[in-house]
Structure 1
Amino acid sequence: MRVYGIDIVKGSVRSRSKRPLFALCRIIDDEIVSETEVSLFRLIRILEAEEPDILAVDSLQEVAADTKELYIFLQSLPPKTDLVCVTGGGDHRESLAQVAGRYNITFNRFDPYAEARTSAKVAALGAGCRVEAFADTCLITVSRGRSPGKGGWSQNRYTRKIHGAVRTKAREIEMTLLDAGLKYEMKEFRAFGGYSRVIFVVSAPRAHVPVRNLRGSDVQVNVSQPRLERIRFVPQSGKPRYLIVGIDPGTTMAVALLNLDGELVHLSSSRVTSIADAISLIREHGRPLIIASDKKEMPGTVEKIRRSFNAVPFLPRSDILVPEKFELASPVQYENDHERDAYAAAMVAYRHYKNKFASLSKRIPSGVALDEIRARVIRGRSLEQALADLAPAGGDEEPKAREPEEPETETRRGRQREYEAMVSRLRSLVSELYAEGQKKDDEIRRLRRTLQNERSKVKSRVRRDSEVARLEGIIKNQKRHLRREEKRNRTLRKQLERMRTYADLLDGEDLVPLKVLESLSRDAIRRLDAEMGRNPGDWIYLGRTDGWGKSAIRELAEVQIAGVVVPDLSVLPPDLVSLFRELRIPLIGEQGLGLRLQGSIGICLRSALDDRYAVWQEEQERYEREKKVDSIETLFKEYRSEREREVRKGG
């Protein structure tokens, strides 16, 4: 069998400037014949000339940029050549490494020649899907090779010659189809002197039709196939893949399907799933090798499904705990707890057989279906028996007849001595290699200890640096708090000193202390509260009265202060004086008080302040009497006007 594998080296089918170059590997009867680099035009020429059975690619994007170009590329292939995408098609795509891993084949994925070689090998072993884009019918069109044109004196003879050639070629093709025993339908288009066109619809694939494209001087033949609505991917191997199935039965049944590499294939749950539905769902995705449950005793529903497939049961030693289920199902997206439990059961089964699968991968030769070996070993066969089962039933070579034993001659004894000397040399070589291996093992252990010590030192240094950084951050915060508290302490000390000075002045008999207010504003009142505080009976000295506000005066009146001293009463606005009168806050000028100021504290003579306060009280009493008289007069006027309105209404 001829299998050709390709992989792109450089360029792209989408690029107009850098056309693609492919690595082409030819494998004939399981032997690599050649590996060359070809262009796309040269590749098509080689395929037409050599007609291999399979052209293997790992991605259709390497040979066609879109569906239209893929149809054109498939049309250009020889009829007997199948295009095989080894990584699968449709929604079930895999990487080339995954496909090769199932046959225990390794390769350098950065080498295009290695990828082309691997694609050809796995395609020869039955991996991948055939790409089908045409129906199983063939369309043969026989038509004129050139137009008759307007012509001249010999136009009729020229037209008869062309149409006659079309009729003759059509008869030849009809005889060929009859000899091949193919069913066909023929449609003729008559013209002057013969046929202008003949169409054959053959009920057979193109590979079975013994007619090829032809372009001559008078006639041309075009062999084509009708396109399918969608490109189909048909697996080369009809065997379904092996699965590890986890089932969580109950009112809501969940099914989790893994391949033998532990990759999730399907995960679903439903409240209306019966045993028959579950069996059908599993059969759609493959053949179950292991069926697992999350309970240490298999439920009856799971056992019925297992028996229907004759699968290997797997039960954990104890019921899987919920925290372990969360850990096992964390890499996947599940809809409910039932799907989580089913996936956890399947994953526990996979982990149980994981080491055995890895051991088998190392022991079996390349080019053998790894999943088939795994399945047979899990079912109880030994590795040798599994390999023997997969070996071909018969070989091309007949078993050699048993040769008679060679007589005991000098030649045989000499050969025996050579073998003994060779064995002796190999034994000495083995001992030397063993000693060298022991030295290397000792060196590796020493380096590992050194590496561990260095890692311990680095970890200690990192822990120490992190601890130092943490402590430095704490110290920095504490220093910031300390500075803030020291500042607050200084402020409180100053305030305490002012309060002591104020208290000492209060104890004096001839002097009255005053608390200085910078201006009649709320901000100034807040600063006064912060520095000295406001208490009932305090005298306030107001430095500036410009920009005053009623709200600030009312805020002063909230605390029953003794009064306010201002620099000059004559310049105060009448509204300000009236507001102080209404709020009964004494307002006194500083003239004659002997006022002295020092910072936020001032002092004045008590006797002078008392005299001024007595004067203010007299004025305040007069103001209140006048206010009462005005209010009575207002009430009288209102009463009189009301009576006049009533009299006028009565008259």
Structure 2
Amino acid sequence: MKIFGIDIIKGSVRSKSRRPLYALYRMEDGEITDVTEVTEFRLMRLLSAEEPDILAVDSIQEIATDQHELFAFLQALPPRTRLVQVTGGERKESLPKVASRYNISFNKFDPYAEARTIAQVASLGAGVEVIAFENTTDIVVSRHRSPGRGGWSQNRYARKIHGGVMQKAREIEMRLKGAGLRYEKKETKAFGGFSRVAFTVNAPRDMVPVHASRGADVQVRVTGRRLDRIRYEQRSGRPRFLIVGLDPGTTTGIAAVDLDGNLVHLTSSRQMTMSDIVEELYRAGKPLIVASDVQQMPYSVEKIRRAFNAIPYTPRQSLSVEAKYDLTAPFSYTNDHERDALSAALDAYRSSKNKFQNIAKRVPPGVDLDEVRSRVLRGQALDQVLADLRGVPPAAEETAPTVPVERKVEDERVVALDGMVKRLRGYVAELQEDLTERDREIERLRQTVRRERSATEKKLQKDADLATKDAIIESLKRQLKNEKRHARRLKKRLDRTRAIAELERAEDVTPVKVLDALTRDAVRSLDEALGIGEGDLLYLQRINGWGRAVVRDLATAGVQALIVGEETAEGLDPQLVREFREAELPLIRGATARVEVRGRTGAVKTDTLEEALRDWEEEQKQYRRELEAERVEYLFKEYRSEREKEVRRGG
């Protein structure tokens, strides 16, 4: 594995005048191969040329000022190179603290020493990988230059560029198919080929067998699909070892410190069951020691210890309040339960602190110190542990074991194992009881949920029915309102019809219906109000906007006659009179038949009306004779014209 470890010597990525200068350590298979100082530009050239497996930094702030620049930096890295921040992700630690886990010491004021340490701890699995892209890659093949306006050879030039884009896209598609990758393709057609081809590949960038390139006519861009935010992925899957202190009771206090005495987790709650406590500790790490602040470990603490197979710790005598205050003075807590749990964990750490220090002195650099400590505390010899971690069998000791000693050791081991089996069986029985009780609780809660769900469904159904009925009621109210409005209109029409009927029963008077204007809208309005039928007599108040269609409609309806008011009759259009005469519809002037108007109805004396109709009929006969004379004269003229033409042709 090839690793680059860098640290800033001088300058800053935030400065425009003093760009950063880095100390670079190259490590391959655990050995330092080269040490140099490089600029930012030179570093990118080396990364592109050598493509290391890991680029390790102690802070991403040394290579990018913000998230946008970090995306650009990660995009510029070779596909197989991973960026590792050795000091952790969102919860960072100092580099000396990370190095102390592997028993590595360095001068923190020397950038070269820091770069070497960064590379070493990265090779040992420390830190987190900085991930900025999804498992999706976008490949865009496009023109590297525009065809422009061109001249005589413009078409040939554009065809050459677009054909190059199409050829390059086909090559990339063949590579993707050969690699067995799933992808989607979108093509933009152009003269002679394609102007742009976009591939969306369902694979991370390091698995795509295509690299960005630029040619004379075609360019290829390969980019990963960005995440919404930078994600940190732990490189080592092994959880850290913890020393846990517990204070059981109505309110449970939980405290956890690492093997260097640093506080990792501190909380308390009144509603935590045994399984909740186990889950809380499991998320924090792997408990190596479970401690109590009293001499006799409580049974609930013992159950949790068994769950993790941890080492028990109890003080020789129960801790006093003064001792608890002294132990927890450097830390902050919210209640006495957290204080008691934290004091138990710190007291257990204090009891093993000297052993930890002795182990650190004997362990060579580059070995996971926490793993060594945990194995030694569990009874393994230090040499055996180091040999296991390095993969080398331990040196055989030249001893002359005797049979009685081996038998004694074996008997003690059997007794210890028997005791462990008994304890485990008891613990299994307790867990089974807890499981049975949990099953009962789950069934009870399920029944409660079913009852609540049934009640909720009934309420929702009732609300839906009420909403439907409310909608029906609103619709019926609107319908009733419309029907009432229609009934009022019909009642008014009935009253007018009765008035007209009364007038019709009178012998000397003829009823008249008043028409506002000689338009279709006015006719339609009168028809809706009073009705227009055969034999009706209409009184016309205005003739503005008249049309031939209205006259024909009234004639078709069988209207007896139209009476025009005196003022209206003075300005009668001759064309309008002609239309009425052609439609055989009497048009009577108001001076001849005087009409008494009362709203939408009126009345005219019958004898006056009959006299006016006779006058109209006489005028109509004269109009027909004139039309017949005009027709005969026209025929005569046509005949004479034809005869003259024949005479001229004969002569």
Same fold (TM over 0.5): yes
* Structure 1 position 388, deviation (Å): 2.0
Aligned to 1:32: 32
Aligned to 1:294: 293
Report the secondary structure of 1:106's partner residue: coil
Report the secondary structure of 1:137's partner residue: strand
Aligned to 2:423: none
Q: Distance in 2 between matches of 1:268 and 1:384?
A: 38
**Aligned residue identity for 1:234:** E
* Structure 1 position 393, deviation (Å): 6.9
**Aligned residue identity for 1:352:** S
Q: Distance in 2 between matches of 1:190 and 1:269?
A: 66
**Aligned residue identity for 1:197:** R
Report the secondary structure of 1:366's partner residue: coil
Q: Distance in 2 between matches of 1:393 and 1:142?
A: 53
Aligned to 1:150: 149
* Structure 1 position 300, deviation (Å): 1.1
Aligned to 1:237: 236
**Aligned residue identity for 1:330:** A
**Aligned residue identity for 1:269:** S
Aligned to 1:63: 63
Q: Distance in 1 between matches of 2:35 and 2:142?
A: 41
Map residues 557-568 of structure 1 onto 2, 5 A cutoff: none
Residue 107, structure 1, aligned to residue 96, structure 2: no
Map residues 547-562 of structure 1 onto 2, 5 A cutoff: none
Map residues 412-561 of structure 1 onto 2, 5 A cutoff: none
**Aligned residue identity for 1:173:** I
Aligned to 2:50: 50
Aligned to 1:359: 358
Q: Distance in 2 between matches of 1:317 and 1:389?
A: 34
Map residues 116-155 of structure 1 onto 2, 5 A cutoff: 116-155=115-154
* Structure 1 position 31, deviation (Å): 1.3
Aligned to 2:225: 226
Percent of paired sites with the same residue: 61
Q: Distance in 1 between matches of 2:337 and 2:141?
A: 64
Q: Distance in 2 between matches of 1:261 and 1:86?
A: 18
**Aligned residue identity for 1:249:** P
Aligned to 1:614: none
Aligned to 2:387: 388
Deviating beyond 6 angstroms after TM superposition, the runs of 4 or more aligned structure 1 residues are: none
Q: How many residues align?
A: 395
Residue 175, structure 1, aligned to residue 174, structure 2: yes
Report the secondary structure of 1:225's partner residue: strand
* Structure 1 position 14, deviation (Å): 0.3
Residue 8, structure 1, aligned to residue 8, structure 2: yes
Map residues 596-615 of structure 1 onto 2, 5 A cutoff: none
Q: Distance in 1 between matches of 2:392 and 2:174?
A: 43
Encode CA deviations 1:537-563: one digit per residue, 9 max, x unaligned.
xxxxxxxxxxxxxxxxxxxxxxxxxxx
Q: Distance in 2 between matches of 1:332 and 1:274?
A: 26
Q: Distance in 1 between matches of 2:21 and 2:284?
A: 37
Map residues 625-644 of structure 1 onto 2, 5 A cutoff: none
Q: Distance in 1 between matches of 2:223 and 2:74?
A: 11
Aligned to 1:75: 75
**Aligned residue identity for 2:307:** S
Measured on the aligned residues, the alpha-carbon RMSD in Å equals 1.4
Encode CA deviations 1:478-535: one digit per residue, 9 max, x unaligned.
xxxxxxxxxxxxxxxxxxxxxxxxxxxxxxxxxxxxxxxxxxxxxxxxxxxxxxxxxx
Gaps of at least 5 residues in structure 1 are 400-651
* Structure 1 position 123, deviation (Å): 0.2
**Aligned residue identity for 2:278:** I
**Aligned residue identity for 1:149:** G
Q: Distance in 1 between matches of 2:175 and 2:54?
A: 27
**Aligned residue identity for 2:77:** L
Encode CA deviations 1:610-645: one digit per residue, 9 max, x unaligned.
xxxxxxxxxxxxxxxxxxxxxxxxxxxxxxxxxxxx
Aligned to 2:263: 264
Q: Distance in 1 between matches of 2:155 and 2:285?
A: 68
Q: Distance in 2 between matches of 1:272 and 1:89?
A: 31
Q: Distance in 1 between matches of 2:107 and 2:332?
A: 33
Q: Distance in 1 between matches of 2:336 and 2:38?
A: 55
Q: Distance in 2 between matches of 1:130 and 1:253?
A: 36
Encode CA deviations 1:195-251: one digit per residue, 9 max, x unaligned.
111111111111111111011111100000011111111111110000010010111
Aligned to 1:514: none
* Structure 1 position 35, deviation (Å): 0.7
Report the secondary structure of 2:135's partner residue: coil
Encode CA deviations 1:457-476: one digit per residue, 9 max, x unaligned.
xxxxxxxxxxxxxxxxxxxx
* Structure 1 position 349, deviation (Å): 0.3
Aligned to 2:307: 308
Aligned to 1:647: none
Gaps of at least 5 residues in structure 2 are 396-651
Q: Distance in 1 between matches of 2:67 and 2:216?
A: 33
State which drifts further: 183-192 or 267-276: 183-192
Aligned to 2:321: 322
Encode CA deviations 1:159-218: one digit per residue, 9 max, x unaligned.
111111100000000011111111111111111111111111111111111111011111
Report the secondary structure of 1:317's partner residue: coil
**Aligned residue identity for 2:309:** N
Encode CA deviations 1:24-63: one digit per residue, 9 max, x unaligned.
0011121111110100010000000001111110111111
* Structure 1 position 392, deviation (Å): 2.7
Encode CA deviations 1:79-130: one digit per residue, 9 max, x unaligned.
111111000010x211110111000111111110000000000000000001
Q: Distance in 2 between matches of 1:273 and 1:328?
A: 26
**How does the TM-score come out when normalised to structure 1?**
0.60
Report the secondary structure of 1:136's partner residue: strand
* Structure 1 position 282, deviation (Å): 0.6
Aligned to 1:89: 89
* Structure 1 position 297, deviation (Å): 0.8
Residue 282, structure 1, aligned to residue 281, structure 2: yes
State which drifts further: 146-155 or 61-70: 146-155
Encode CA deviations 1:387-415: one digit per residue, 9 max, x unaligned.
12212379xxxx9xxxxxxxxxxxxxxxx
Q: Distance in 2 between matches of 1:265 and 1:153?
A: 76
Aligned to 1:438: none
Q: Distance in 2 between matches of 1:56 and 1:88?
A: 12
